[in-house]
Amino acid sequence: MYALVDCNNFYASCERVFNPNLMGKPVAILSNNDGCVIARSDEAKLLKLPMGAPIYKYEYFCKMNNIHVLSSNYSLYGDMSHRVMSILKQFTPDVEVYSIDESFLELKGFEDYNLQDYGTKIRSRVLKWTGIPTSVGIAPTKGLSKIANKIARKSKSGVCIMDTNEKRIKALKWIAIEDVWGIGSRLAKRLRLKGCETAFDFTQIPENIIKKEFSVIEARLHRDLNGIETLTLDDNHQDKKTIATTRSFNGTLTDPSEIKERVSTFASFCAQKLRKQKSNCHSIIVMLRSNKFDKNGKQHSESRVINLSTPTSSSLIISKVAVTVVAQMIKKGVAYKKAGVIVTGIVPSDNYQFNLFEQDNSKHIPLMDCIDHLNKKYGTFKIKLGNQDLQRTWKMKQDRLSPKYTTNINDIIVVK
């Protein structure tokens, strides 16, 4: 059996742990730079506040409906997530942390356990030790545990056990095809053309048709939903295949030197992340965009891909390439709002092909190691490249940010 433990309204729940005045009230959490809504409490959902709503358009709506709007407090959410996942590992050694608020637990050797009681015990301990409410769905496969969790979310007990074929069929008939884990909107449209309205309809399609007309991913999900264990725990850490640093500027930028400085900083972020996972990249993507909401200003959006002859993780090389490219993209008279650097074609740093006719950049390795060591010891980006602003640090717009209760010594709650 597999259990999927999901934290209910995780971002809002983290805020409520330290601010009980938000209990029972509508809460909305904003994206980077306080852009749009990325998380809502159940109360905010009932008021029909859309997911992804730009806050500048819904400011009046939130005020009229007394919705508490907060900036994303990622350090708080990350720390609370770590606490929850640490508790879950006390119930079984086989845990896959699927996302910041979800984990799969494989329950091997639990045949003689009362799983309803065990799921309730998991919920109670997490709630008591962290204050975060959860839902627990338990079923014979990972795919079915996802569906069981959706049912648990709507039940009073917060726990759903799918331990019979009758329960499986009833649950599959209840859930719409687009709400099935792993089936996006495009795939749902294709399946609806085949008469699939529910998850149960999907399981009734012959397996050979699924293999013929869809991918291996859908074939595995098909078997999983039919109760045949196919998707197993992914307990191996997978290095990222793409690393991106994209940011909106605080305002708009027209000065090429300021834009190039920002792109150099973003490139350095990517290079640092590459080195952290001991990887190099073959390709660099640079993007630059104007403010699409400014109807009166000139519009320009462009991205370019640069392939490197030799993969690298050197901040010097990646920054130089990115700055050279963005300089060619900048158009006079355009006010730019966002830029980004993406590195892809990622390979292990200890296993790649050299280019016989180009300079060996391995001499950068000890320099990068030294920079990373000093930045780790004295603070992020204490040492920068010469084309970066030494006095400037990128800071998100977070006008509605709550205190970092668990990660900043100055924000710890004081009880008088």
CA distance 128 to 142: 27
Q: At what angle do helices 142-154 and 216-225 cross, to 10 degrees?
A: 60
**pLDDT, position 303:** 93
How far apart (Å, rounded) are the C-alpha atoms in residues 96 and 317?
A: 36
Q: How many CA atoms does the CB half-sphere of 258 hold within 13 Å?
A: 13
- pTM of model > 0.85: no
Strands (E), 101-197: 102-106, 134-139, 159-161
* Predicted pLDDT at 317: 92
Q: How far is it, in rounded angstroms, from Cα 161 to Cα 172? A: 14
Are 151 and 176 in contact by the 8 Å Cβ rule? The answer is no
pLDDT (0 to 100) of residue 184: 84
Provide the H-helix boundaries in 283-387: 315-329, 364-378
**CA-angle at 101, arms to 96 and 104, nearest 5°:** 25
What local confidence, expressed as pLDDT, does residue 152 receive?
A: 95
Do the beta carbons of residue 293 and residue 311 sit within 8 Å? no
Q: Enumerate the β-bridge partners of residue 244.
A: 342
**Which long-range CB contacts under 8 A does 200-208 form with residues at least 24 apart?**
200/169, 200/172, 200/173, 201/177, 202/177, 203/172
Structural domains in the chain? 243-378 (3.30.1490.100)
**What is the three-class DSSP state of 31?**
coil
| N-to-C CA span, the chain | 47
Task: Name the CA radius of gyration of the chain, rounded.
Answer: 25
pLDDT along the chain (416 residues), means of 10: 95 95 95 87 94 91 95 92 95 92 92 93 96 96 94 93 94 92 88 90 90 88 92 70 85 89 92 91 94 82 91 92 94 91 89 62 82 80 73 68 90 86
Q: Which residues contact 235 (CB under 8 A, 6 or more apart)?
A: 94, 95, 96
For 255-391, strand residue ranges (E) read 279-290, 301-312, 336-348
